[in-house]
Amino acid sequence: MVNITVPQQNITQVFSRTVLDQILLGITLCSFVVFLYIMAVMLFIYFTSPSAREEVRYVLFAHMLITDLIYLLSSLFLFLASFFPVTFPAPFCYIVITVSSSSMKVTPYNLAVMSLERYIAICFPLRHGDFCTMQRTNIAISVVWAIGLIPNFVDFIILFVLVDHSFFLRNLACVRVYFRVTPAQNTIRDVIYISTFSLVGLIILLTYIRIMMVALKVGSSKASAIKAGKTVMLHALQLLLCMTAFSYVIVEMLLKEQVTLLLIINFCFFMCLPRFLSPFIYGIKDEFFRKHMKRFVFCKGQKQVQN
């Protein structure tokens, strides 16, 4: 058994609670609420539009929104728990960390499924209705969540086997490092992240190439193929935004003495901003969401969204 020594003070012990710290925290939380509202609006549009709930691509987009919301809310809790010297029961912290980690991995898998759906729609238009049914979509969503949870399940087994069981009875700060007891956990995490983004990137690239090959052919489907190709490239941009989380290591090295600033930059630029921009760009690009979002921007969103 590995005996984990939890410091009496967490990583926020050096915070001086200056006025600047409070201002940065206030700006961060206000921005979070604004972007959260935009995501909630897009979900409202989806759930109040029967036609959207019947289209596979919108179902997958709504799933991405919900996944990102889960990730953002769990990350907000972890951010506040790191910012303030508060402790929680170890099992509760581990569950929140698991939810955050799993939802982070699910979004790239969901982007791969969205790209494959566009690939089938363009390259096999007559079979799209057969391949992309609601039942198969629900199965695909279940599979990506299962894949996202498997690494965390392995991590839990390692933790359960190696640490003294009294560890789970402690109260501690919700910081990921407390649950990293062996280098194998970091290795598994790195391998999973690298393989995930490499595989998803390859799928997006191959689907884009295949769709653009269709676009080069003269025919009635050329315009739709070009549009689908742009959508797949948008998924590639979304994937790159997800990958910005790895930049945190570089910033951590540069600002390791500025704990407050490091936490805020990590939360704003590597956790929140990519997850906010990704669905926002997609929603603005999509004609259906763009049309209905204007009603909310001009305070005309009181009525139920119509087809």
- Number of other CB atoms surrounding residue 104 within 10 Å: 22
DSSP 118-152: HHHHHHSGGGHHHHS-HHHHHHHHHHHHHHHHHHH
Low-confidence ranges of the chain (pLDDT < 70): 1-21, 218-222, 244-262, 296-307
Residue type, 10: N
State the pLDDT at residue 9.
44
Q: What pLDDT does 136 receive?
A: 92
pLDDT recorded at residue 10: 41
CA 162 to chain CA mean position, Å:
30
**Domains of the chain with CATH codes:** 14-297 (1.20.1070.10)
User: Quick one: CA dihedral 163, 164, 167, 173, positive or negative?
Assistant: negative
Q: Rounded mean pLDDT of the chain? A: 79
d(CA 232, CA 209): 10
Question: Which pLDDT tens digit goes with each residue over 136-149?
Answer: 999 999 999 999 99
Distance, in Å, from the CA atom of 96 to the CA atom of 51, rounded to the nearest integer, reads 34
Distances (CA, A) of 96 to 79, 86, 120, 173: 12, 15, 36, 12
**For residue 4, what pLDDT is reported?**
55
Burial of 203 (0-12, 13-18, 19+ CB in 10 A): buried
Residues 6+ away with beta carbon under 8 Å from 135: none
Neighbours of 247 (CB within 10 A): 13
Cα–Cα distance between 104 and 111 in angstroms, integer? 12
| Per-residue model confidence as pLDDT tens digits over 99-155 | 988 998 898 899 889 889 988 988 888 888 888 899 999 999 999 999 999 989 999
SS3 10: coil
Is the Cβ–Cβ distance between 170 and 8 less than 8 Å? no
Q: Mutual orientation of helices 134-162 and 183-215 as an angle, nearest 10°? A: 160
**Overall pTM > 0.75:** yes
CA torsion angle for 245, 248, 249, 251 (degrees, to 10)? 150
Q: What type of residue sits at position 253?
A: M
Phi, psi of 85 (to 5 degrees): -75, 75
Cα of first residue to Cα of last residue in the chain, in angstroms, is 60
- The 10 Å Cβ neighbour count of residue 83 is 19
